[in-house]
Amino acid sequence: MIKLENIHKIYELDHGKTLHALKGIDLQINKGEIFGVIGLSGAGKSTLIRIINMLELPTDGKVIIDGEDITSYREAKLRKVRQSIGMIFQQFNLLSSKTVFENVAFPLELDQTLSKDEIKNRVHELLKMVELDDKADVYPAQLSGGQKQRVGIARALATNPKILLCDEATSALDPKTTSSILKLLTTLRDKLNLTIVIITHQLEVIKECCDRVAVIDGGLISEMGNTIDLFANPQKDLTKRLVSAVVRKDLNDLLEYTKLDDTYSEGSRAWFELLFLGDKAEDPVIVEVAKELNVNISILAGQINHIQNKPLGILIVAVKGDEALIQKAKEELEKRVYHVQLLGYEVENNE
């Protein structure tokens, strides 16, 4: 559906200096998926999304949409391609002097083949789709942030695009409104068979609605994969920091203030982090292993997150026993959960 091959973007700055914003990006986004791109400020996210619809021209590389390399298209041909690519923005970009109806109608009025009745019917259909059919005659200043973004979505869908690009589309919204917008985007994806690309610095956005995700760092894609896998087992330091702040935020304090040794000593407890995916998050794993091995397993902390409605459970447990028993407990836990990590050994204070 969307394929980027070896995309570079170099900006010419003052005094002969340059900024290499994108450094050989290779990326494939499948038809009908919601694909997230996340990174810190200045990582190249917005440049990347603007290259997809050629609002920014790559310095090198190819942009391929539905098998066609659009990189060399002239402006007239590009305008036709852009009609199949809608875009929504962080600041909504609505026309303040026009009503909601007129904002959504604006791209349709540029198509001289459509009659007024056809435009009217299409606008009302779109407003109903985004649950704003009662706001047609209202001006943007009278709307909440979430309502403004819904108008932006309706306008972006006016020309029946196949692709919807979202550039930090929820950054200006509160968490509850953000969630409602993401649910709307997911519904529209399913109803209209859209391919949606979401650029964001908020991992909570990725967590809620994206099928796959790419992490961009310094103009390079550092990590990419299925969202659930990335949350469960991040590989790169940046991804680990981003994920930790969301799915392990209530566990970090416990680990930060607990001193653990790297080696076992007599009487110490082994601390493990256990990851549970899907239905396994509800299995009585700790009870089963404790009974089977007659071993003392203490639950120290835990939480369950939902990644696209799939449970991802994290438990911090302590296993007490001799080194052989602790190793046996680790092996039994590994049979039952997604991932087991030894965090270290705690020597109990018997004073």
Q: Please compute the mean of the pLDDT values over residues 310-318 and round it to a whole number.
A: 89
pTM of the model: 0.87
Pairing of strands 195-200, 2-12: unpaired
**Residues 54-97: pLDDT tens digits?**
999 999 999 999 999 999 898 888 888 888 999 998 888 999 99
Candidate from 147-151, 209-213, 225-229, 344-348 with smallest mean pLDDT: 344-348
- Share the mean pLDDT of the chain: 91
Q: How far apart are CA 64 and CA 115, in angstroms?
A: 33
Q: Please compute the mean of the pLDDT values over residues 154-163 and round it to a whole number.
A: 95
Q: Please compute the mean of the pLDDT values over residues 255-274 and round it to a whole number.
A: 87
- Does residue 38 carry a pLDDT above 80? yes
Residue, of 327 and 79, whose pLDDT is higher: 327
Q: Please compute the mean of the pLDDT values over residues 229-239 and round it to a whole number.
A: 89
Pairing of strands 268-277, 339-347: antiparallel
Q: Please compute the mean of the pLDDT values over residues 152-167 and round it to a whole number.
A: 95
**Residues 190-208: pLDDT tens digits?**
999 999 999 999 888 999 9
Per-residue pLDDT at 351: 44
Using pLDDT thresholds of 50, 70 and 90, give the confidence band for residue 349: low
Domain boundaries, given as residue ranges, for the chain: 2-247, 252-347
Q: How far apart are CA 243 and CA 94, in angstroms?
A: 34
- Does residue 21 carry a pLDDT above 50? yes
Using pLDDT thresholds of 50, 70 and 90, give the confidence band for residue 286: very high
Buried-state track 85-99, b at ≥16 Cβ within 10 A, e below 16: bbbbbbebebeeeeb
Per-residue pLDDT at 350: 47
Q: How far apart are CA 14 and CA 67, in angstroms?
A: 37
Taking 3-state DSSP, the helix, strand and coil percentages for the chain, each rounded to the nearest 5, stand at 40, 30, 30
Using pLDDT thresholds of 50, 70 and 90, give the confidence band for residue 113: confident
Question: Letter for the amino acid at 336?
Answer: R
Torsions phi, psi for 273 (to 5 deg): -105, 125
Per-residue pLDDT at 281: 63
The torsion region of residue 218 among left (phi > 0), alpha (psi -120 to 50) and beta comes to left
- Give the architecture-level CATH label for domain 252-347: 2-Layer Sandwich (3.30)
Using pLDDT thresholds of 50, 70 and 90, give the confidence band for residue 152: very high
Using pLDDT thresholds of 50, 70 and 90, give the confidence band for residue 280: low
Question: Letter for the amino acid at 308?
Answer: Q
Question: Letter for the amino acid at 297?
Answer: I
**Residues 100-110: pLDDT tens digits?**
999 999 999 98
CB atoms within 10 A of CB 135: 19
Q: Please compute the mean of the pLDDT values over residues 166-176 and round it to a whole number.
A: 91
Q: Please compute the mean of the pLDDT values over residues 239-264 and round it to a whole number.
A: 80
Q: How far apart are CA 170 and CA 244, in angstroms?
A: 21
Q: How far apart are CA 141 and CA 307, in angstroms?
A: 35
- Give the architecture-level CATH label for domain 2-247: 3-Layer(aba) Sandwich (3.40)
Distances (CA, A) of 132 to 103, 159, 171, 207: 13, 18, 21, 26
Per-residue pLDDT at 293: 94
